[in-house]
């Protein structure tokens, strides 16, 4: 935005990190042709890129911001995405919801990895393997916890099954239970 200055990414992310974890998306103001914003920026001589909206590119400024350069705005956007979806931030986000079921945390981590792909395209196997490797601590932690949860549930189900079979067989032979 026009009033943003260098450091806006850190200020924004500091605020976001004080909230419950989410999936932030960062972008830059895009003045599309035939809009009042586009007309105003064109009239002031601040438009720098193509006039047809199909030629606009995501995350690339089309105009000169007032309080920073196009390169500074690009660097701020890159920093916001990098900091928000770093392996360290992913781990912090998952840790902050450690009291939720493991399935919820796994889902959130997977969503964070896919959302990261909005800005950093993960088009090939190598990119995905790198992403998984970079987040291995969190992935291994959740995998271990998920396996333990599954084992406990399986053990509890076996125990419940034994109890119900025992109760069912007693009900058939014990007239007091049967009535």
Model pLDDT, residue 39: 94
Asked whether the beta carbons of 54 and 46 are under 8 A apart, the reply is: no
CB atoms within 10 A of CB 33: 16
- pLDDT tens profile 1-57: 789 999 999 999 999 999 999 999 998 888 888 899 999 999 999 998 767 767 777
- Rounded CA-CA distance 52/62 in Å is 11
Model pLDDT, residue 170: 58
pTM, two decimals, is: 0.80
Model pLDDT, residue 132: 97
Model pLDDT, residue 171: 55
Model pLDDT, residue 50: 67
- Rounded CA-CA distance 139/137 in Å is 5
- Rounded CA-CA distance 9/70 in Å is 14
- pLDDT tens profile 56-76: 777 788 899 999 999 999 999
- pLDDT tens profile 85-143: 999 999 999 999 999 999 999 999 999 999 999 889 888 999 999 999 999 999 999 99
Model pLDDT, residue 175: 60
Residue 176 or 64, more confident: 64
Asked whether the beta carbons of 49 and 55 are under 8 A apart, the reply is: yes
What confidence tier does 173 reach under pLDDT thresholds 50, 70, 90? low
Asked whether the beta carbons of 70 and 64 are under 8 A apart, the reply is: yes
Question: Over 90: is that where the pLDDT of 162 sits?
Answer: no
CB atoms within 10 A of CB 83: 19
Model pLDDT, residue 29: 87
- C-alpha pair distances (Å), 21 with each of 44, 114, 161: 40, 15, 39
- Range 142-149 contact pairs with CB under 8 angstroms and sequence separation of 24 or more: 142/94, 142/102, 142/105, 142/106, 142/109, 145/102, 146/102, 146/103, 146/106, 149/101, 149/102
Model pLDDT, residue 65: 93
Tell me the domain boundaries of the chain. Answer: 8-178
């Amino acid at each position: 935005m026009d009033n943003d200055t260098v450091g806006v990414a850190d200020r924004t992310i500091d605020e976001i990190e004080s909230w419950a974890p989410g999936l932030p998306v960062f972008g830059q103001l895009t003045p599309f042709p035939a809009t009042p914003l586009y007309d105003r920026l064109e009239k002031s001589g601040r438009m720098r890129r193509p006039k047809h909206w199909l030629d606009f590119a995501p995350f690339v400024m089309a105009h000169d911001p007032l309080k920073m350069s196009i390169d500074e705005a690009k660097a701020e956007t890159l920093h916001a995405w990098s900091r928000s979806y770093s392996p360290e931030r992913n781990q912090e986000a998952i840790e902050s919801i450690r009291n939720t079921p493991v399935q919820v945390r796994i889902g959130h981590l997977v969503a964070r990895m896919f959302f990261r792909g909005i800005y950093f395209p993960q088009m090939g196997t190598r990119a995905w393997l790198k992403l998984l490797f970079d987040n291995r601590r969190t992935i291994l932690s959740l995998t271990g916890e998920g396996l333990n949860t599954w084992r406990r549930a399986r053990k509890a189900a076996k125990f419940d099954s034994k109890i119900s079979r025992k109760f069912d067989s007693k009900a058939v032979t014990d007239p007091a239970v049967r009535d």
